[in-house]
Amino acid sequence: MDPIERLRRCSGFDWDDWNAGKNCEKHRVSNGECEQAFFNPPSVAMPNHDHADDEDRILLLGKTESGRKLFVVCTIRGDLIRVISARNMTRREREVYFTYG
């Protein structure tokens, strides 16, 4: 199934205690901003085939309500999105975002 379609079928987000503050501490990205990146069009999602874990990971390029461009790594657990990492997009990622978004 297409990564965007898999994300659309989710009903919410799963924030664990450890991961909830990590993105804010490391990259100054709040949980709310992470969530906004999934819902503000356009967004670009693709599977992360390079990850060797047993867990399927999805890479998402999206933007916040304030226009901040984010690169988000997530997985889907049940019908919830679990954000693993979020940061500002690099220049190359912004080029992909504007090309395909």
Give every strand in the sheet of 12-13, ordered side by side.
12-13, 80-88, 69-77, 58-63, 44-47
pLDDT, tens digit, for every residue of 2-33? Answer: 777 888 899 999 987 777 778 888 889 999 99
Decide if 7 contacts 70 (C-beta within 8 A).
no
Structural domain including 33 reads 3-100
Percent of the chain with pLDDT over 70: 96
Region 35-40 average pLDDT: 94
Please tell me the total count of domains within the chain: 1
Given a contact cutoff of 8 angstroms between Cβ atoms, the answer to whether 89 and 61 are in contact is: yes
Whole-model pTM?
0.89
